[in-house]
Amino acid sequence: MNKKFFFLFALIAIGVIGCSKDDQQGAGMSASAPSETAEEFVARANAEYADLWVELSAADWIRSTYITTDTAVISSLANEKYAEWHTNMVAQAVQYDDQELDPKTRRAINLLKLGTSKPAPDDPAKRKELTQIATDLKGEYGAGEYCDSANECRSLPELENVLAESRDYDELLDVWAGWRTVSPPMRARYQRFVELANEGASELGYGDLGEMWRSGYDMTPTEFEAEATRLWQQVKPLYDELHCHVRAKLGEVYGEDKVPQDGPIPAHLLGNMWSQTWGFIYDLMEPYPGVAGLDVDSTLKAKDYAPREMVRSAESFYVSLGMDRLPETFWERSMFSKPADRDVVCHASAWTLDAADDLRIKMCIKQTYDELRVIYHELGHNYYQWAYKDQPPLFWGGAHAGFHEAIGDTVTLSMTPEYLAEVGLLASAEQSREAVINRQMMQALDKIAFLPFGKLIDEWRWGVFSGAISPENYNAAWWDLRTKYQGIEPPVERTEADFDPGAKYHIPANVSYTRYFLARILQFQFQRALCAVAGHEGELQACSIYGSKEAGERFWAMLESGTSEPWQDTLEKLTGTREMDASAIIDYFEPLMGYLKEQNEGRSCGW
C-alpha cells in the first residue's frame, strides 16, 4: 500500500535525476559558496527543502484530488523543480565526504544523498535516457491489460477480481498467465535502466544500486542483508506450518493431481495476482465454518456511520493514548469520499502539506471494517508526521523505511473484540476459542503469508544490481527465489522470453520493497512492548492498548525522533532493545500455531 508520508524518500523516487556541474550553474538555484561550512550547507538545505515541501505537496495534492490535464502540468513542473534542487544539493554535498563532522550534520548529509532510489549518471544524455526509461516503464505497467482469445480486454483490477473470487482452476490460470503478457516488452529497457542507475550509484560512491539501498539502515549493507535473513529465520517456522496447511486444503479443493502434497503450491490458486497475500481464499481455509467473526460491517451499516464518523473513531483511539485531537484543518481539507463531479485517486494515503499542522488523509471511504482499519492505519502516518514536525526538515521521516508503515498497523492490532465492543462497533466482546482461531487465520493469510514475498522482491533486485543475477537469468532467478522462500511455483512453464518480475508494480516503478517486510516485523514488536507498558496480562493477541496513557507516552517518545538518530536508538525508546525482533509474531500467533501443528500432524510438510 503506497503512502505519501515522507518526502525525502517517497517523492524523490518518482523523478530525481542527476545534474552535471554545468547544469548546476544554470539551474537558477542557490549554489554553495566555497567558504560555506557543512553546518551552513545543512542549514540552507533544510530551509530550502521546507519551502519546496509546501510547494510540491500542494501540487501533488491537487493532482490527486482533481485529475485533469492542467493539474498534471502543475504537478510535473513542481516535481521537476524539486528534482533539480535535489540533484544540485547532492552534487554539493559530496565536498563534505572527507571532513570530520558532528554526528547530526553527517547524518543530515547522508540522508540527503540517500534520498533517491534511482541516481542518474552525471551525463546529460544518460540522465535523459534514465528518466525516459523510468517514465515509460511506469506508464506501460499502468496501461497494461490482457486481451483473451475472444478479444475481451481487462485491466489489472478486473483480473485481480477474478483471482480473488473464482475457484475455477483453468479460469484462474488464464488470468494469471494473461497479466504476465504485459511485462516481456519491459525486459530490455529494465536491463538498461539497471546499467544507468548502477552508474549513478557508483558516482555517489556505492558499488551498485543495491548497495546504496542497503546503506540506509544505520549499518553496513552486508550487515543489513544478514539482519533481514535473521528476521526471516525467526518467522519461517510459522510460515512453514501455514504453507503446509494451505497446500493441504487447496489439494482438497482442486485435487492433489493439481496441488501435489510434496511440492510448491501453484501460484495462481492463492487469491492474489502475485501470491503475496492469501486473504481472498479465507473461505477455503476457515478453521471453524459458521463460527461468528467480527461483524463490524453490520454495525457500521445499521448505525449508518458516515465517513467522517469512521475517521473520528480512529482519531479517538489515538486521543485515548494521550495524543491531541487532529487540527481543525484536517477535517476541512481531507478527502473522505469520492467527489461526484471529478476524477480523483481513491487509493488511501496520509499527507502533511506543511510538515506542521496541515495534516490530511485522502480516501474514498466505504462502510466496511476493512476500510475502518485502513483509516486507523492512515492516521498512524499522520500522528507520526505530527510528532516529528519540530525536527529539522531533513529529519522528517520514519526512523527507517519500515517504521512509518508499522505505526498504524500496530494500532490496528489493538482493534480487538473487547475494544470494538467498548466503542460500540461490536455487540459483544465474547469470543470463543474457535472464533479466536478463525480471526488469527484471517490475519495470518495476510500478514504471515506476505513475509517471504516482502523479503524476496529486493533480494532479487540486489542480485540484479550486483550482477550476481545476469540479464540472461532474470526470470529463472525470480522463480528460484519465489520457490525458495514462498514455496510456490508457476502453474505453466516460464522461460527467459518472459519477464515475470515486471508484472509486479514495484519492479518497473523502482520502489524498494524491504520497508514492507520490516513493517510486518516491527508492528508486532511494537505491540508487545506497548502491551507490557499498558500492563496487559494474558495472550498477546487479546491485548488492546486503548486508553493507556503510559503506552501512548512511550509511543510518542519514539515517534517524535523522526529520522534524527539511528533507528536503533529510536527503537530502544519504545521496546528497551536495540534489535528488531520477530519473535513477537510467534507470540502473537501462538493460538494459531497450535492449531496448525494439530492439523499438519501426519502431513508431509515442506517443498
Catalytic annotation, pick one of 84, 211, 405, 459: 405
Sorted by sequence, the CB contacts under 8 Å of residue 575 that are 6+ apart come out as 525, 526, 528, 529, 581
CA angle, 558 then 562 then 568, to 5°: 60
Catalytic annotation, pick one of 158, 347, 472, 539: 347
Separation of alpha carbons 410 and 76, rounded Å = 35
User: Are the C-beta atoms of residues 200 and 130 closer than 8 Å to each other?
Assistant: yes
**DSSP secondary structure string, 412-479?**
HHT--HHHHHHTTSSS-----HHHHHHHHHHHHHHHHHHHHHHHHHHHHHHHHHHTSS-GGGHHHHHH
Helix 221-254 and helix 514-533, axial crossing angle in degrees, nearest 10: 90
| HSE-CB of 25 using CA atoms within 13 angstroms | 2
Catalytic annotation, pick one of 129, 315, 378, 459: 378
Catalytic annotation, pick one of 485, 516, 546, 595: 516
Residue 233, SS3? helix
What are the residues facing 130 on neighbouring strands? none
Here the cell at position 225 is: 542483508
Is residue 405 annotated as a catalytic residue, yes or no?
yes
Sorted by sequence, the CB contacts under 8 Å of residue 103 that are 6+ apart come out as none
Is residue 598 annotated as a catalytic residue, yes or no?
no
* Residue with grid cell 451499516, as numbered in its chain: 301
Here the cell at position 9 is: 524518500
Is residue 347 annotated as a catalytic residue, yes or no?
yes
Here the cell at position 446 is: 495476510
Catalytic annotation, pick one of 86, 243, 377, 404: 377
Which of 533, 536, 541 is closest to 587 using CA atoms? 541
Separation of alpha carbons 468 and 485, rounded Å = 18
CA distances from 537 to 414, 528, 545, 574 (A): 14, 11, 12, 19
Catalytic annotation, pick one of 381, 400, 404, 536: 381
Separation of alpha carbons 140 and 181, rounded Å = 12
Catalytic annotation, pick one of 38, 83, 93, 348: 348
Is residue 400 annotated as a catalytic residue, yes or no?
no
Catalytic annotation, pick one of 506, 509, 542, 550: 506
Separation of alpha carbons 466 and 136, rounded Å = 24
Is residue 516 annotated as a catalytic residue, yes or no?
yes
Which amino acid, one-letter code, is at 177?
Answer: A
Is residue 506 annotated as a catalytic residue, yes or no?
yes
Active site residue ranges: 347-348, 377-378, 381, 405, 506, 516
